[in-house]
Amino acid sequence: MKGSVATQSVAGGCATLDVAAAGRGLQFQSAGGDAVLGIDLTGLADHWVRGADVVATYEPADPRRLRSTVMWRALGGEAGVASWQVVVSAQTALLETDVAVAVHADVAADSVLWSAADAASRWQPLTDAAALPAAATAILLRRPASTCLIAVHPADARRIDAARDGGRWALTCRLFAAPLEKGVLLRSRVLAAVGPASDDTVWAQRLCDEFAASPPPLTT
């Protein structure tokens, strides 16, 4: 890590993360300039590297008195698939505060599939962003050479919004639906992966199943 910027080699290029500009998230030199796991937080207070994790704390200068810790983790995976997880924690010194935080992605895609946690709603085509069901927990963004997966943990409070602009899709994973009380620590997780276009629903479902079965993180 150099200053506030971490770099990771991925197939065909590299991914960079500037914790001082968390909203940009992981940015890829290849894959159409995609960006995933961006967090709408400002007020960087501290940051460090711990193994495969990049961790940062944020204390935005706003009335919410929100303190957030964000951990971006590079995951070991199968050949040809690169994956990451972001864990977002939030707490406040106020008796109660709004804790609306979102994880963002900006991805080029020709077609999109969505999936919910129940087996009957797996990998359905999405033709209209406004029609994305509230139950959706995972999105597959497909293009000829690769596919990008974005998934929220099904046990976490969440909602995914999708907006299309030409050949790009903007995704917003909204975390922490309920107000945050003093003394309470909230956590939520989002998964991102990039892999081959061939058999994308197979590797993506495997990652989603592993993600859903993973225990909640105890620390960040």
CB 39 within 8 A of CB 23: yes
* Residue ranges covered by each domain of the chain: 5-213
Instruction: Assign domain 5-213 to a CATH class.
Output: mainly beta
pLDDT value of position 207: 94
pLDDT value of position 90: 83
pLDDT value of position 14: 83
pLDDT value of position 220: 45
In whole angstroms, what is the distance from residue 148 CA to residue 2 CA? Answer: 27
Low-confidence stretches of the chain (pLDDT beneath 70): 11-13, 30-32, 77, 119, 157, 177-181, 183-185, 218-220
The residue assigned the tokens 């909602």 is: 159
Tens of pLDDT, residues 43-53:
999 999 988 89
Q: What is the pTM of this model?
A: 0.90
Burial (CB < 10 A; 0-12, 13-18, 19+), residue 70, is buried
